Structure 1
Amino acid sequence: MIRRMCLLIIGLISLGLAIIGIIVPLIPTTPLLLLAATCFVRCSDRLYEWLITQKHLGPYIKNYREGKGIPLSAKITGVILLWTSMLFTIFFVVPLIAVKLILAGVAAFFTWYILKQKTLI
């Protein structure tokens, strides 16, 4: 019972963060949805079925499971939003050069990660 409740809570938190990640480029949507699906499959068949058949979230999981990749439009949008938010933060928010360099490195890493994924056609 306690295990099931913990999995449910972790799944719901992951799902919430994944939904936020659709809008905020630095939060990885697909891994969080996969974590939520993994938790739900172990604690609630109803939530798992809802998640994988949900109109907007289900395709993330299905495309990943089937190895189809990321749509080109999502790659372009993700990279543009990533760099827009990072450059704004680097030039207008963060005063420390070391932190600016770390942020640029994080942006470069996630850009590489997004672009190396298979493109869904």
Structure 2
Amino acid sequence: MMRVLWLCLGCLMLALGVIGAFLPVMPTTIFLILAVACFSRSSPRLEKWLLESPTYGPALRAWRDQGAVSRKGKTYACLGMAVGYVLFWWGAHPSWRLAAAVAIFFVASAAYVVTRPSPREPGPGGEPPGG
């Protein structure tokens, strides 16, 4: 039963990740990271498929193996949050308290992403140094 729930949750995260690939203000990679985590508990075949994806596999493996985010990933994440905040401000016309709370959340999220290590270069056997 739990395996089915993890599989359904993984499929939902994968669907949200695919949607995020096409919508500029919705994240992709975080949903794919969550999908990999769910599939690791339910479907090794789908987990392997995501980890071997030519587009997202390297970022997913870097996060899983090293807790790392590439410089490009950090840049896109921060830009996405900034654009998301501007759209929120422009579209929702929030009170100053709500605007401040959302700004604090985005700043904290950006700080977390920016402070993650960058991926290490693979060693001679294809493994990260020390890994």
TM superposition score category, shorter chain reference: 0.7 to 0.9
Q: Is the 8 A contact 1:26 1:82 kept in 2?
A: no
Residues 36-115 of structure 1 correspond to what in structure 2 (within 5 A)?
36-67=35-66, 69-115=68-114
Amino acid at match of 2:71: L
Partner of 1:10: 9
Shift of 1:14: 1.6
- Segment of structure 1 superposing worse, 67-76 or 97-106: 67-76
Structure 1 gaps of 5+ residues are none
Q: Which amino acid aligns with 1:29?
A: T
- Counterparts in 2 of 1:3 and 1:85: CA distance versus 1, 3 Å: closer
Helix, strand or coil: the match of 1:54? coil
SS at match of 1:120: coil
Q: Over the residues paired in the alignment, what is the CA RMSD in angstroms? A: 2.5
Cα distance in 2, alignment partners of residues 41 and 10 from structure 1 = 12
Partner SS, residue 99 of structure 2: helix
TM-score (norm 1): 0.78
| Structure with greater helix share of residues | 1
Tell me the secondary structure at the aligned position of residue 41 of structure 2: helix
CA spacing shift, 1:73–1:99, aligned 2, 3 Å: same
Unmatched segments (≥5 aa) in structure 2 = 121-131
Q: Which amino acid aligns with 2:29?
A: T
Greater length-normalized contact order (CA 8 Å, ≥ 6 residues apart): 1
